[in-house]
Chain A
């Protein structure tokens, strides 16, 4: 990290403010294929600069792929992803990542604190023991997700929800401006779900952007302000109230109606709630 120059002239401050208003993530004409069958087809999408943003869509719609291709973890056939108006390599320190919990081996000999400390590796550098400042930051992140008492527990001995919180703490420890989260609510208990959404709301209030793959249509309108609906192609994107509509969901999910009815009810409830809050 470069130390901030406190005597920066006002011109640069204005420039910095302008940067802050740039979309956190913008993908242009993104196409991704696994073994020649396309998973994402020509998706162009721009997120707001801040806020809670959901990616929804049926299984195989390319939700995780969109995140992973943006981060360069799977090769793109064509298209590009810009973070805060720049390629990822220029702004890596501002981008946090929470992978799917099932993507790693939880039997690995590491404690919860070890894993959260990994979020600080980029800030500290790859070589040499991690400084006290970074260990403290990792402990603070664990405390934020209510896991302070489990710092020294081996990760395999934690419940699924606790493991998810450890991953969330690791992302928080990255101290980023944009967080890409791959199914943060998958397979967690109710208490963990509440903790996670509280943490996400705190992030949003602090002016950060969170892009999360989300499966539960019933909670999506409550939890997020913006939404991208995917089905291989882009179905709809924008503010929750105007995009999370029966028509768009029908187009994305096809005939799975039981699921849709719940989602539409939830959307109506959430929209009513927002109107009440404004009134």
Chain B
């Protein structure tokens, strides 16, 4: 590999490829719990419902930095989850219908906010949300393998990549710490509640984490692929194994590989 090729690889190919892989990995691991809970549609619902939160976060902060948009998205996801629960209980809707109603309303609200604000001018457009902008994730400070150990160059790492790395760390910690709790609440939430574990509150935390992972992954791969990555690796793994641990590992492997 010549010097120029290496530089191109580090500046353009590596950050993009790595971002795609990390985005898929976080979604693929969390998607396991949606598939095992028979709530696959929830990924679709959450990834649509966060749009008004994203726009609100952008309008309040005036920038596309990850922090405010992530906060807005998590707030919107919280609202969506609570609304879906309420629709199921109060209007006696089955869960699929409740999700459908809530996410289409929130998504429409987000679109209206997007059109009515000036956000359109600043490249927060629908294309970006739908298909992602992997080509914009660049590490221009890289000059060679040495850059990987150079603090100054590392500080210039694209923010999307950093956000995705942080997201993966959070997901890994969450799954490792709550390994058994996730298994029990996915299999038998009533039994978990009878044991004194707050299964419903725990499910809410899981849904917020999924929403955060969706947002972190949006910019890299777009919402369409995010929904696919929440479901496909887990569903594929489910066909290949009957063991909980193997299921998790397979889904992670499949999603990283496809990423």
A66-111, CB < 8 A from B: 68, 71-73, 89, 92, 95, 97, 99, 103-105, 108-111
Is B188 in contact with A89, judged by CB distance below 8 angstroms?
Answer: no
The chain A residue with its CB closest to the CB of B244 is A109
* Stretch in A122-130, A191-199, A241-249, A254-262 with 4+ CB within 8 Å of B: A122-130
CB distance from B140 to the nearest CB of A (A): 42
Contact at B197–A126, with CB atoms within 8 Å? yes
User: Do B244 and A156 touch across chains, with their CB atoms under 8 A apart?
Assistant: no
Inter-subunit contact A73/B194 (CB<8 Å)? yes
- Please determine whether B238 and A104 come into contact, CB atoms closer than 8 angstroms: no
Q: Which of B93-101, B109-117, B179-187 contacts A (4 or more CB under 8 A)?
A: B179-187
With CB as the reference atom, state the residue of chain A lying closest to B193: A73
Q: Mark A110-144, 1 if CB is under 8 A from B, else 0.
A: 11001100100110001101100000000000000
- Complex formed: what's the CA distance from A126 to B238 in Å? 25
Q: Judge whether B244 and A114 touch: CB under 8 Å.
A: yes
**Does B247 count as interface, using CB distance less than 8 angstroms?**
yes
User: What's the tally of chain B residues with a CB closer than 8 Å to chain A?
Assistant: 28
Question: Which of B195, B196, B246 lies at the interface centre, i.e. has the most chain A CB atoms within 10 A of its CB?
Answer: B195
Q: Which residues of A contact B123 (CB under 8 A)?
A: none
Interface residue count on the A side (C-beta < 8 Å) = 30
B206 in the interface (beta carbon within 8 A): no
A154 at the interface (CB under 8 A from B): yes
User: What is the distance, in angstroms, from B203's C-beta to the closest C-beta of chain A?
Assistant: 15
A105 partner residues in chain B, CB cutoff 8 A: 38, 187
Structural contact, B242 and A156, CB atoms closer than 8 A = yes
A35 within 8 A of B: yes
Given contacts A105-B38, A109-B247, could you give 20 more A-B pairs where the C-beta distance is less than 8 Å? A72-B193, A73-B194, A92-B196, A99-B190, A99-B194, A104-B187, A105-B187, A108-B36, A109-B241, A110-B187, A111-B243, A114-B183, A118-B183, A118-B187, A121-B184, A121-B197, A126-B180, A127-B180, A129-B179, A156-B242
The 5 closest A-B pairs by CB, nearest first: A154-B242, A97-B194, A122-B195, A92-B196, A109-B247
